Structure 1
């Protein structure tokens, strides 16, 4: 009886491993949200890594995370390196393509706790009085990634982070729009005539 149970366990493990290895060699996780904010405000917040602290779900994982920005402040060639606790790890990002109000493509390089190179892109479309934003994350699938995908863990985990990021991006972009409106409506101060 014990031998039959052992064989059944081996067959089950082999089946699970075969199922995992049959998963696709790449992944794509996408989330889309209609934001009640202008394309200009949304684009500005994504196109400048220093502004990600206002909305990115990854920025608050480690309050002591070290950040280093290099290259231009925004747009193609802007780079961002980070080093945090075991929950955030070590990595860097670089903007590869940037089309105002339309799209931003980013290279993501994870160094620790695992090595991987992925892509993220944001597609912006004016929609009504706001902006429809699609955030895609894609890359090659490692065996661990295939395992997480096989059971829906990667889609669920990363998907929730992207959803939170889009929600917080809307909040930050609405605040930027409000500030821009207030500045535009402010009367310029003029000097009082001397008496």
Structure 2
């Protein structure tokens, strides 16, 4: 019994040490990006990346809730256009609005998360020619509060999975 209590005590101590190190050492600025090369011209890829409606055809986050409700404001492809989503506890609620657009090259959006937690982030897609195809880079930037710093490794893992799935779906759509 004493050995079991020692093991539990050591595990708890390690968790506390990790949490303190994470809060002190990890930057409050969070940046994640992932790229893929798609065998299609950037104009074809832009159909999906250059509008909010196109984005939602490959966005893995909204696909996790089959009953998600998405309401668009504007056509979805101009600065100021936006959409609001409301889904289950896994998807939450929020808004995404276009803040910058360079046709066939770049789209920047502001994400406002309402539920399950309040927060803001910046999403960016950049398209660059690569050989006969198009390199698509998907980025997200936001600021982490102290408690979120502890979750950074889990966030990186989740972003890698979701961005990978989304870029893979974008590649399938664009290469048809």
TM-score range, shorter-chain basis?
Answer: 0.7 to 0.9
Match of 2:56 among 45, 53, 59: 53
> Does the CA-based 8 Å contact 2:138-2:163 persist in structure 1?
yes
Map of 1:19 onto structure 2: 21
Count of residues paired in the alignment = 172
TM alignment of 1:99-178, pairs within 5 A: 99-149=102-152, 152-175=153-176
4+ residue segments displaced more than 6 Å: 6-10
CA deviation vs aligned residue, 1:124-175 (integer Å, no higher than 9, x gap): 10111110011111100123421122xx211111111001111111111223
If you compute each CA radius of gyration, which structure gives the higher value, 1 or 2?
Answer: 1
Q: After TM superposition, give the deviation of residue 14 of structure 1 in Å.
A: 4.3
Map of 1:28 onto structure 2: 31
> Does the CA-based 8 Å contact 2:31-2:142 persist in structure 1?
yes
User: Higher mean Cα deviation, 80-89 or 18-27?
Assistant: 18-27
TM (norm. structure 2) is 0.88
Q: Which runs of 5+ in 1 are unaligned?
A: 176-195
Map of 1:190 onto structure 2: none
CA deviation vs aligned residue, 1:69-113 (integer Å, no higher than 9, x gap): 002431211101000000100000001111012111011111000
Q: After TM superposition, give the deviation of residue 16 of structure 1 in Å.
A: 2.5
Judging changes above 3 Å, is the alpha-carbon distance between structure 1 residues 8 and 57 closer, same or farther for their aligned structure 2 residues? closer
Q: Which runs of 5+ in 2 are unaligned?
A: none
Aligned counterparts of 2:50 and 2:148: Cα–Cα separation in 1: 28
Judging changes above 3 Å, is the alpha-carbon distance between structure 1 residues 171 and 16 closer, same or farther for their aligned structure 2 residues? same
Aligned counterparts of 2:113 and 2:91: Cα–Cα separation in 1: 10
Judging changes above 3 Å, is the alpha-carbon distance between structure 1 residues 9 and 96 closer, same or farther for their aligned structure 2 residues? same
For the aligned residues, what is the CA RMSD? 2.2
TM alignment of 1:79-94, pairs within 5 A: 79-94=82-97
Judging changes above 3 Å, is the alpha-carbon distance between structure 1 residues 8 and 126 closer, same or farther for their aligned structure 2 residues? closer
Judging changes above 3 Å, is the alpha-carbon distance between structure 1 residues 9 and 74 closer, same or farther for their aligned structure 2 residues? closer
Q: After TM superposition, give the deviation of residue 117 of structure 1 in Å.
A: 0.1
Aligned counterparts of 1:173 and 1:14: Cα–Cα separation in 2: 46
